[in-house]
Amino acid sequence: MGSIFITIELKMPFPHLLLVLLVVVIWGVNFLFVKIGLTEISPLLLCTLRFVLAAFPAIFFVKPPKIPFKLIVGYGIFMFVLQFGFIFLGMDIGMTPGMASLIMQVQIVFSLLFSAIFLGERPTLYQLVGSCISFLGIALVGGHLDADISLLGFICILAAAASWGFGNLITKKINAVDLISVIVWGSFVAIFPMLLFALMFEGWANVIKSYHQLTWMGMGSLAYIVYVSTWIGYGAWTWLIGRYSVGLIVPFALLIPVVSMLGSSLLMGEPFQSWKLVAGLLVISGLGINLFGARLPTRAQPEMIT
């Protein structure tokens, strides 16, 4: 009688594994800091300040990426202005940190959809099945709208995920370029439309109000969003991507909503009903099928030992 063994190898040194897990925690906790920052700073202004501090003074020391300027503009608009603008708006008008982080992960599904529409890439059966499972989880969230999760907030977070998904098409064209320079110059590009939107829709009155009610908590949240989440998070992520395959590093992002949902429940008192657990399992399972499904027949070949 034989037994079946599937060997899982740790393909990176333990310190590097700890580093990628640190990034997961940093980005998961970031949603909590956004929620705290929004209690003192209006959403579009908070977004504008994020880009200002991410761009300055770094822009004086980081050379522009060697790509057409229109790609930097596209990256800045979709990955920064639209994505973060919708995230901050959605969380301000009705979305908990845990659910926001979960819904944002369907950017993978939107990436597949836009790749099929604009690049002619045909999704695999695994990707279609995984996408359907993930959207069952999103539909479950949409079926439990209340004071903490509003319809408009839900729509905004979905729009943010779609913006991220479309932005991935632009990222695909520039992935050979130093990501840090793209972040700096993309943030610089994002300042101008974001400031315009802040003044148009929030007005100077909100700017002044945010300034007068700003405390150390608001400033600390902004500092975390910019320097910890953006610089440490993206810096470490870029370093890891440069040393390991994308397929090895990117799946760790599925842990981000787990960190955010647990952190929001434990630290901010967000109720953790059973339906949230089911929604989380559906979304993460669907995304897992998207990422790993096609590899299962070749990677998980059983080894028979007699």
Q: For 67-92, what is each residue's pLDDT tens digit?
A: 899 999 999 999 999 999 999 999 99
Tell me the pTM.
0.86
Split into its structural domains, the chain has a count of 1
Pair of tokens at residue 173: 């064209």
So what's the pLDDT on residue 298?
A: 47
Domain housing 37 = 3-305
Contact 65, 173 (CB under 8 A): no
Positive or negative torsion for Cα 207, 211, 215, 216: positive
H-only helix segments in the chain: 14-37, 43-55, 69-75, 83-94, 97-104, 107-118, 125-142, 151-173, 179-201, 203-213, 216-223, 234-243, 246-249, 256-268, 274-292, 296-299
Burial of 135 (0-12, 13-18, 19+ CB in 10 A): middle
pLDDT tens-digit map of 110-149: 988 888 898 888 888 888 898 899 999 999 999 988 878 9
